[in-house]
Amino acid sequence: MGLGWDETVYVSQVSPHAPAAFFSAPRARGVPLLVAPVAVWSSSTELLRVYLAVLSGVGLYLALRAWRGLFPVRVTAVAGALFASLWVTLFYGPQAMPNYWVAVGALGCVGCFLRVRNDPGDRAAVWGAGAGTALMAWMRPTDTVWVTLPLFVLLVGVGEWRRPRLLGAMAAGLGTGAGAWVVEAYAQYGGLVRRLADASRVQGGLGWNIAVDDQLRSLVGRTLCRPCTGDMPHPAITAWWFVLPVLAAIGPAVAVRAGRAAPTVVALVCAATAAVPYLFLIGYAAPRFLLPAYALLAIPVADVLLSLVRGPGGAWRPVVGAAVVLGAVGHLVVQYAVLARTVERTTASHRDWDRTAAELRRLGVRPPCLLTGNHAIPIAYYAGCASAHTRGNNANTTREGILETAERIPVAALVAPGGGPPEYARTWPAHEVAGFRLHVAPARR
């Protein structure tokens, strides 16, 4: 599966394979740093996928280790299995995208936070909480604020939860990533207020928007649901999404009986705040947005499931156990079916981008070169070209700038089916491949 649109933006920042794509206001520099050890010397997508898959597994293991002593090992093991078996986790774990790493950072940060609450002298946990916060902040600073908001409220506002060293470590972690984002705002985006406004505009304007139904529609494998229209998926696909909050609601009752109410409630509250912006503040959906919430919910949900299996006595125990096992098997079947379809569909679209890039090279559009128009960013990466737009969320040049560039290097405008070329490219020779119409600027002699 070739690199996706957002992946090409992140990887191009450090890869010599193609010029860096326009880095829009909401993005942060964590993913380019994450992929740099491979991307700076190799353009192999397969190698990058293997590297990220291994790293994502190690990251999840370390994040779950942070919960040792807070929950039995069997609970954290089942929680890891629940989170890792979601199609969205498996799909995005090996990708150069930030959301999985926000989830891992959140899981590790909250676990270490709770360990320090129990043992203020646990220096490793203090460092772990700071590292988890930093990981989130380098990936998505705004998500970090939502995840850690309850933790900072406890550290500052509740006497028995106050841990100055922990507060300092988490504030420093948040400051490393968010600070870099703020510095970049003044260096490249016209200031912090301007960057925040641009980030909101790119995301359709932040405000009261109920996106719960959009998230439901995305569960069928729609990696970006914008606009999010169409029928709801089959109930078998969305069933787990309705079961999840029910099990989470039972979590505190199970935790009180087991003597671990505080860890459960903190995990649930952080999961809720992590989900708030993506359920109620944006007008579209992507299943990856809720990965941090899913990771944090996995711990109390696993605790509930194990209590259901182990709790009832007598004749009810095998019945409940069988019901849980059957439900888990059905859940896995659905998750892997959605994953297979999503991978197949995504691979096909990325293959079309590769075919288009090959056709561009055949037509003489070779590096150094420039692409503009529909899907210019990912196809430019595949072709080794720069990309440019005169309008929209990725606007970074002008009509005159593109025409001046065409005087020096090969330039092409890409047009998706049903669209028309920009005014300045209407007289350029047109070619069709993989559903795209390629308008190639005449070669200058």
- Whether 316 is covered by a domain: the verdict is no
What span, in angstroms and rounded, lies between the C-alpha atoms of 177 and 264? 28
Do 25 and 78 lie in one domain? The reply is yes
Does residue 256 sit in the same domain as residue 169? yes
Residues, the chain, total? 445
Could you tell me the residue range of the domain that residue 436 belongs to? 352-440
pLDDT at 155: 94
What is the three-class DSSP state of 411?
A: strand
Using alpha carbons only, give the angle 4, 282, 108 rounded to the nearest 5 degrees: 70
In a domain, 341, yes or no: no
**332 located within any domain:** no
Nearest CA among 422, 374, 423 for reference residue 5? 374
Distance of alpha carbon 260 from alpha carbon 266, whole angstroms: 11
Nearest to 125 by CA among 177, 166, 174, 161: 166
Question: Is there a single domain that holds both residue 362 and residue 300?
Answer: no
Residue 416's pLDDT is: 84
Predicted pLDDT of residue 203: 77
If asked whether residues 91 and 210 sit together in one domain, one would say yes
pLDDT per residue rounded down to tens, the chain (445 residues): 889 999 999 999 999 989 999 999 899 999 999 999 999 999 899 999 999 999 999 999 999 999 999 999 999 999 999 999 999 999 999 999 999 999 999 999 999 999 999 999 899 999 999 999 999 999 999 999 999 999 999 999 888 888 999 999 999 999 999 999 999 999 988 999 999 888 888 877 777 888 899 999 999 999 888 888 888 889 999 999 999 999 999 999 999 988 899 999 999 999 999 999 999 998 889 999 999 999 999 999 999 999 888 766 655 667 777 888 888 899 999 999 999 999 999 999 899 889 989 988 988 888 899 999 888 999 999 999 999 998 888 888 888 898 888 888 999 998 888 788 888 888 888 888 878 888 988 876 5
Last residue of a domain, one of 310, 343, 362: 310
Residues 306, 357 within the same domain? no
Q: Do 153 and 52 lie in a common domain?
A: yes
Check whether residue 228 and residue 371 sit in a common domain.
no
Residues 186-224 as b/e (b if ≥16 CB within 10 A, e otherwise) read: eeebeeeeebbebbbeebeeeeebebeebbbbbbbbbbe
Q: 334 in a domain, yes or no?
A: no
Domain stop point among 310, 344, 373: 310
- Cα dihedral 117, 121, 122, 124 sign: positive
CA distance 162 to 154: 7
At residue 313, the pLDDT reads 60
Q: Are residues 113 and 63 in the same domain?
A: yes
- Report the domain count for the chain: 2
- Return phi, psi of residue 108, to 5°: -70, -40
In a domain, 386, yes or no: yes
What is residue 316's predicted lDDT score, i.e. its pLDDT?
64
Q: Which two tokens stand for residue 266?
A: 């903190």
What residues are paired with 385 via a beta bridge?
none
Q: Is 315 among the domain residues?
A: no
In-domain check, residue 161:
yes
Residue 101 pLDDT: 97
| The predicted structure's pLDDT at residue 194 | 92
- Same domain? For 74 and 145 the reply is yes
The residues, ordered by sequence, that sit 6+ positions from 124 with a Cβ below 8 Å of its Cβ are: none
Q: Is 344 within the bounds of a domain?
A: no
164 and 262 co-located in one domain: yes
288 and 432, same domain (yes or no): no
Domain boundary among the residues 310, 327, 343 is at 310
* 90 & 217 share domain: yes
